[in-house]
Structure 1
Amino acid sequence: MARLHSVEGYLIAPDPGRTGLTRAVTGLDQAGQPTEISVVEERPLTIYLNRQEIVTAMTIGDYPEYLALGFLRNQGMLHPDEEVTAVDFDEELETVVVRTRRETDYEEKLQKKTRTSGCAVGTVFGDMMEGLEGLSLPQTPVRTSWLYALSAQINRTPSLYLEAGAIHGTVLCREDVPLVYMEDVGRHNAVDKIAGWMMSTREEAADKILYTTGRLTSEMVIKCAQMGIPVLVSRSGFTAWGVEIARQVGLTVIGRMRGQRFVCLAGEARLVWDADPGSVAPEEGKHRRKSVQ
């Protein structure tokens, strides 16, 4: 399994100084002056389930085992109680092979693959909605004070986003405590890494909040619901279908979470309004890169 990185309060946190995640590139700024910035690396990762090749995803390359497990789980190819016998990552071949006790064959499912709006070519399979039938999410209350505390801490956590931009982050939280913070070039990959970690650790979902920097699209809502997490929060906005699905399955979706502001478009019954927005500090601009002197 890939090396874990933690900072105070997190079980896993971004490691922006890790070798191979970014590279320095020199160019010219708007005034024609030399400037050097960090840019995010991306590389292919091919995921196998037993002997069958499933997908090749573009990723930053950290936590490949979690990404593979989470992707397969969120596509319905691994059952919640699946007996996984091995997860083998070959760095040279850029492959992950997930092995299960159960025999698997998803030839028909792969034929129903549909391209989505996801960054880095998100992928969803045509029958993902079937996994939402009869889904019942727990009515876990969510305090607005937790949302403000999470937003403030997460946005100040050292990350690849602050270092280089061009990347999405997803954070698994319990109440006002962020636990696992994953990043990737595609927001779907970041969510899948969280799902893979939860599957590996058998972490409960009922008392969790999923925070993301990406848009609240239909696929993001579906993945969160299938993971059993009742609350999805984003710095970004919504799509109409994402909101419609959230309302159908009883998922709380909160978007445009910046500083004192947020908007809840589904599952508002879970909210406990215990914080005065006027007492929340305005959000500061994020740190950017320095010019070459």
Structure 2
Amino acid sequence: MNKNYLNYDVKTYKNGEILDSEELVVEEKAYAIFLNDEEFTSIVCSPFNLEEMAVGFLWSEGILRDKNRLKDIYVLENENKILIDIEGFNKELETRYFMKSFNSCCGRARTSFYYANDAILCKKNESNISVLDSQITKQIGLLEQKAELFEKTGGVHCAALIEDGKVICFMEDIGRHNTLDKIAGYCFLNNISMENKIIVFTGRLSSEIVLKICKMEIPIIISRSAPTNLGIEIAKDMGITLCGFARNERYHIYSNSYRIKASS
């Protein structure tokens, strides 16, 4: 059984001594994604939930938005390949979304939709859901309860999709982007709407991460880590509530704080 981590003999410095010890190290692999028998791209990732990751990646890039077009998906573990059959896929036409060129594509100058397809796929989030201020760090607790691979190795990022205090989907991966693609792919394959839900996350909230969450139509992001200024500006403009450094009963609200309601 693949445990998704490996044992390594290491030298550990502790209390002034260098000792022999053993550490668990997270597994990393590269997989080539083939669309209709043609190699499309490669992704470096944790080698599990690969179907969800590949589908979520294609969904996030705007290449696969209609589930009826997905005819088959198959993972060749020994060859590090993910084979996907998409009805009517036209590589030359549809890679116009994937082969990104820099553009200023947002109506407001301060927001950097620097890829044309991001502007096409993102829309301002008008959701009126809210969460109590005292519940923010409790959402992080829900994430941490499931983070078994992180607990063993410290080498992965984690993300959870939460609704009404319950985890709908949890994913781990060496890549921040991959965790969100895995969640998007899981929801796409299982006909689960991502609207009016919360993403809880361990990674840095950069512009690319916020844009992915914007495409997922999720109104609230909670992360243990820091945002970037561009991540904050995009969240502000796109109607996303962004909470960072959520740990130890403390957090910052960087944008659209109206969704965080006082407990008393």
Asked if structure 1 preserves the Cα contact closer than 8 Å seen for 2:147 and 2:158, the reply is no
Instruction: Give 1:264 deviation, angstroms.
Output: 0.8
Report the structure, 1 or 2, having the larger helix content: 2
Q: Distance in 2 between matches of 1:190 and 1:134?
A: 22
Q: Distance in 1 between matches of 2:225 and 2:213?
A: 16
Q: How does 1:197-212 map to 2 (within 5 A)?
A: 197-212=186-201
Q: How does 1:246-285 map to 2 (within 5 A)?
A: 246-274=235-263
Deviations 1:45-89 (A, max 9, x none): 111232442221111110110000000011111125553111121
Deviations 1:140-166 (A, max 9, x none): 112223323222232233511110012
Q: Distance in 2 between matches of 1:262 and 1:102?
A: 46
Confirm whether residue 22 of structure 1 aligns to residue 5 of structure 2: yes
Q: Distance in 2 between matches of 1:192 and 1:157?
A: 18
Confirm whether residue 78 of structure 1 aligns to residue 67 of structure 2: no
Deviations 1:113-151 (A, max 9, x none): 78xxxxxxxxx9932422355444422112223323222
Unaligned runs of 5+ residues in structure 2 are 103-112
Q: Distance in 2 between matches of 1:59 and 1:147?
A: 29
Deviations 1:213-239 (A, max 9, x none): 000010110001101111111000010
Q: Distance in 1 between matches of 2:131 and 2:66?
A: 25
Of 13, 16, 19, the match for 1:33:
19
Confirm whether residue 213 of structure 1 aligns to residue 234 of structure 2: no
Q: Distance in 2 between matches of 1:185 and 1:262?
A: 24
Q: Residues 127 and 51 of structure 1: is their aligned pair in 2 closer, same or farther, counting only changes over 3 Å? A: farther
Q: Percent identity?
A: 26
Asked if structure 2 preserves the Cα contact closer than 8 Å seen for 1:109 and 1:125, the reply is no
Q: Provide TM-score, normalisation by structure 1.
A: 0.79
Range with bigger deviation, 102-111 or 144-153: 102-111
Of 71, 83, 86, the match for 1:100:
86
Asked if structure 2 preserves the Cα contact closer than 8 Å seen for 1:175 and 1:209, the reply is no
Give the counterpart letter for 2:231 in structure 1.
Answer: G
Instruction: Give 1:190 deviation, angstroms.
Output: 0.7
Unaligned runs of 5+ residues in structure 1 are 1-17, 115-123, 276-293
Q: Provide TM-score, normalisation by structure 2.
A: 0.87
Please name the residue that 1:118 is paired with. none
Question: What value does the CA root-mean-square deviation take over the aligned residues?
Answer: 2.1
Give the counterpart letter for 1:231 in structure 2.
Answer: I
How many residues are paired up?
249
Q: Distance in 1 between matches of 2:249 and 2:86?
A: 46
